[in-house]
Structure 1
Amino acid sequence: MTRLPLSGALALALFAAGCASTAPSAPGGSDDGPNMPASGDVVAACVDGLATLPTDDPADDADGPFECSNIDLVSFVPLSEFDANQLNDIWGWTDPETGREYALVGLSNGTEFIDVTDPMNPVLLGKLPTVTVETVWRDIKVYRDHAFVVSEARDHGMQVFNLTRLRGLTSDQGEFEADALYEGVTNVHNLVINEDSGFAYAVGSGSRGDDLPAECGAPGFHVINIQEPQSPTFVTCFSDAAKDTSPVAAPGYTHDAQCINYDGPDEDYVGREVCAGSNEDVVTFFDVTDKDDVRIISIAEYPQDAYTHQGWFTEDRRAFLANDELDESNGYVSTQRTLLFNVENLDEPEFIGIYDSGITTIDHNLYVLGDLNFQSNYQSGLRILDHSDVLNGNMTEVAYFDTYPQSTEVNFAGQWSNYPYFESGIVVASDSDNGFFVLMPRVAM
């Protein structure tokens, strides 16, 4: 299989239709800007519910056809081109000087940097290798033009990579070295960064170092000051271990989180730094403004809990959308669901109900942009839902693209994550088994 682009004519039409924001100007003053697609000769538009590649091999389910609605396939880089056993997390970075867009793709053995400025012709620029060994789990976030990478690999720590080093590169550079390595953590499941405060939160982590506070014994939040990106420093640790009665994992375990400078309707917390932790069988809200006195605001529960995986605030901060990764495989529910919470009052979050997809797959990561949430749900791929009426318990699916055509089952294969925040309007997605996808939704964003 080869990298497969969408035709330039179709991609340009999608841009003109308003699927993407106006791209920034290219260096030298080009009117087109760096995000406008170049011409290509391969079409993989979503037609009659399928995106079919012209090179589709009937004997190879991994290259389609892909079930879809209102999303076109712009390009595809198969797993075989990454020299890795699988893909995992994905994030993005836009160069503030050039406007070029880059995907940061987690691999079993490192992190790959991909220039997606011409989305039909993604360019692999090189790999930041794992610090120690290979693993299924890697997580990447960005702050001040630096990528921060953690992994469940033993003794991995947190890598720091200056993304401006990618500027001007046009071909694969092989392997990169990190600019810094924070060794205050060992293995880490996820990394959370509040770009407004300059603090990183390693969660599901092991801590190491001299004279660590007792709180670092729980695999909750390990707080790191990254305001000087290449000189990260330890701050503190905290968790909800004192109130944790879950048998799922170690007391105080946090699987993932979102941390924000709160700007929502609850006046008691406006201007405070708040974290929402997906903590085994609940969502725990913390006030982390004073790092020396972190306190639990509230704990949100829901029925048929198995493993609270991840979640995201809506942009107006009135709702929190979450997922449970094991409720399907444990047989608690028969179809994939999204958990809906009213958090207008952070002291008393209210479980509203669920959105039932009707699909027998496992949900994984979701992110919010405007009134849409972008869900990566393993074997059912990318699902885009309108949550504008979520406080009334309503969400509506408006688009989808199944990156895993092999099957639709309750199984941990398929799409791991997505990144929907590029100004160009493309969404990049990582399928752990099939590879890297560049997608163009045909919905207003």
Structure 2
Amino acid sequence: MKRSIVLLVVILFYFSGCSNDQENPVADDNGIEGEGNQVETAFKPCDNGKAGEYPCEGFDLLGQIPLADFSARAANDIWGWTDVTTGKEYALMGLDNGTAFIDISDTENLIYLGKLPTATVSDTWRDIKVHQDHAFVVADNNSGDDAHGMQVFDLTRLRDVANPPQTFDADAHYTGLGRAHNIVINEDTGFAYVVGTNRGDAFQGGAHFIDIQDPKNPVPVGGYGASGYSHDAQVVTYNGPDTDYTGSEIYIGANETNVIIADVTDKDNPVEISSLSYGNRAYTHQGWFTEDQRYFILGDELDEINFGTNTRTLVFDFTDLDNPVLHTEYTGPVSAIDHNGYVKGDEYYLANYTAGIRVLDISGIDAKSIVQAGFFDTFPTSNTAGFNGVWSVYPYFESGKIIVSDINRGLFVVKKSNS
């Protein structure tokens, strides 16, 4: 009972505290409004454990744009887009009051091209994904079921920005839902899965299925709510070891108290395959498949606070989707909270709040061997369990650039040293 009360108090504190950020200026890590924005943007190599003022191991700072330059109080999610026509690379960063678009092609001259303002009030949570050269943006703005919806923005417009920064408008605005915590896109099939919506809607805050094959004309095609509210998810066209589901569209939801696996191939008849839980569960937050789709790497956002552990990362064996099992756990060197994590090859890129980004070598995952391969700490004064620092990380540019959104300090562009 005590544990349940503590969990409830922590969750209420976290969500109410994050909401208060909408009304109060974001303080930096020293508690002084704005000081955290005074950051040089020049290249800083990781030398003797520091890149300028930032602790690091194996990652150089290529460039940084402070939060103040975006006229925002807080940053949140981040995603990337590569224009295959021009070869240019762009960061798409969520802010409390909109979405910022940054040309990162020349890291000596990062260009803030402009902002797509929020469709409604400012909000702590915003999420962005990309399909067919369009950005899809949702926000969890706590202002009613008919609030933000999903904005669609044609990213090819970024080719022709003459006088940045500009204020952009959306190319389409889908209003078939209101608030949403996250959006997931399976680019293989052209379907978006919007999750974390109003718990009282038709899908209980689960997944809304939206056909975005024609990006500017999104069409609702049902949803899945049998397993309850999904905080985050990943959806893949399955090609993993369980041949019973080869070619199926598989949904893995981080559903606050458990992980659920569902077959959503038939949009009219989605079916739960299995669900799982684990010890010392506090808030089942977000996870990502390894590239062979055998393992699912999960972060629990509140276990570090509730149980006093260092950063904990759980690895589940999904060889049999009908019977997933816990494979191993990795415990990091600091007590910072884990947030979003993504796999690229044999590495797992973890947004670790006050500990910055932590990169884990998962090449030995079969043998339950996971080690820290490097890090870049955008929040240099503390590694304690708190909700400051890095929100998310995007490691998928072919150039090797990694973009990082820091709640307090804005955009960072980093890269492996000597790469």
TM-score class, shorter? 0.7 to 0.9
Distance 1:86 1:419 in 2: 18
Pick from 180, 203, 206 the counterpart of residue 172 of structure 2: 180
Give the superposed CA RMSD: 1.5
Structure 1 match to 2:327: 352
Alpha carbons 1:5, 1:121 under 8 Å: kept? no
Pick from 315, 318, 338 the counterpart of residue 313 of structure 2: 338
Structure 2 match to 1:423: 398
Alpha carbons 1:240, 1:284 under 8 Å: kept? no
Number of residue pairs matched?
Answer: 378
Deviation of the 1:238 alpha carbon? 0.9
Alpha carbons 1:342, 1:391 under 8 Å: kept? no
Structure 2 match to 1:441: 416
Structure 1 position 96 matched with structure 2 position 88 = no
Structure 2 match to 1:50: 50
- TM-score, L = length of structure 1: 0.83
Q: Which amino acid aligns with 1:293?
A: N
Structure 2 match to 1:373: 348
Q: Which amino acid aligns with 1:235?
A: V
Structure 2 match to 1:159: 151
Q: Which amino acid aligns with 2:96?
A: S
Deviation of the 1:173 alpha carbon? 3.8
Structure 1 position 312 matched with structure 2 position 284 = no
Change in CA separation of 1:94 and 1:167 when aligned onto 2, cut-off 3 Å: same
Alpha carbons 2:180, 2:197 under 8 Å: kept? yes
Give CA-to-partner distance per residue, 1:395-428, whole Å, 9 cap, x none: 1111100001131211001000011011110000
Pick from 84, 87, 99 the counterpart of residue 111 of structure 1: 99
Distance 2:179 2:267 in 1: 22
Give 3-state SS (helix, strand or coil) of 1:277's partner.
strand
Deviation of the 1:254 alpha carbon? 0.5
Give 3-state SS (helix, strand or coil) of 2:119's partner.
coil
Deviation of the 1:282 alpha carbon? 1.3
Alpha carbons 2:46, 2:417 under 8 Å: kept? no
Give 3-state SS (helix, strand or coil) of 2:167's partner.
coil
Distance 1:121 1:409 in 2: 33
Change in CA separation of 1:168 and 1:382 when aligned onto 2, cut-off 3 Å: same
Distance 1:232 1:319 in 2: 32
- TM-score, L = length of structure 2: 0.88
Structure 1 match to 2:186: 194
Change in CA separation of 1:263 and 1:215 when aligned onto 2, cut-off 3 Å: farther
Change in CA separation of 1:373 and 1:161 when aligned onto 2, cut-off 3 Å: same
Give CA-to-partner distance per residue, 1:44-79, whole Å, 9 cap, x none: 111111111xxxxxxxxxxxx111100000101111
Give 3-state SS (helix, strand or coil) of 2:254's partner.
strand
Structure 2 match to 1:391: 366
Distance 1:2 1:354 in 2: 36
Deviation of the 1:443 alpha carbon? 7.9
Give 3-state SS (helix, strand or coil) of 1:329's partner.
helix
Deviation of the 1:265 alpha carbon? 1.2
Structure 1 position 205 matched with structure 2 position 205 = no
Distance 1:239 1:352 in 2: 28
Structure 1 match to 2:112: 124
Change in CA separation of 1:407 and 1:2 when aligned onto 2, cut-off 3 Å: closer
Structure 2 match to 1:408: 383
Alpha carbons 1:46, 1:73 under 8 Å: kept? yes
Give 3-state SS (helix, strand or coil) of 2:363's partner.
coil
Distance 1:398 1:391 in 2: 17
- Unmatched runs of 5 consecutive residues or more in structure 1: 7-43, 53-64, 208-213, 242-251
Greater radius of gyration (CA): 1
Alpha carbons 1:74, 1:120 under 8 Å: kept? yes
- Unmatched runs of 5 consecutive residues or more in structure 2: 1-37
Alpha carbons 1:215, 1:237 under 8 Å: kept? no
Identity over aligned residues, as a percent?
A: 48
Deviation of the 1:293 alpha carbon? 0.9
Deviation of the 1:136 alpha carbon? 0.4
Alpha carbons 2:203, 2:224 under 8 Å: kept? no
Pick from 267, 279, 283 the counterpart of residue 255 of structure 2: 279
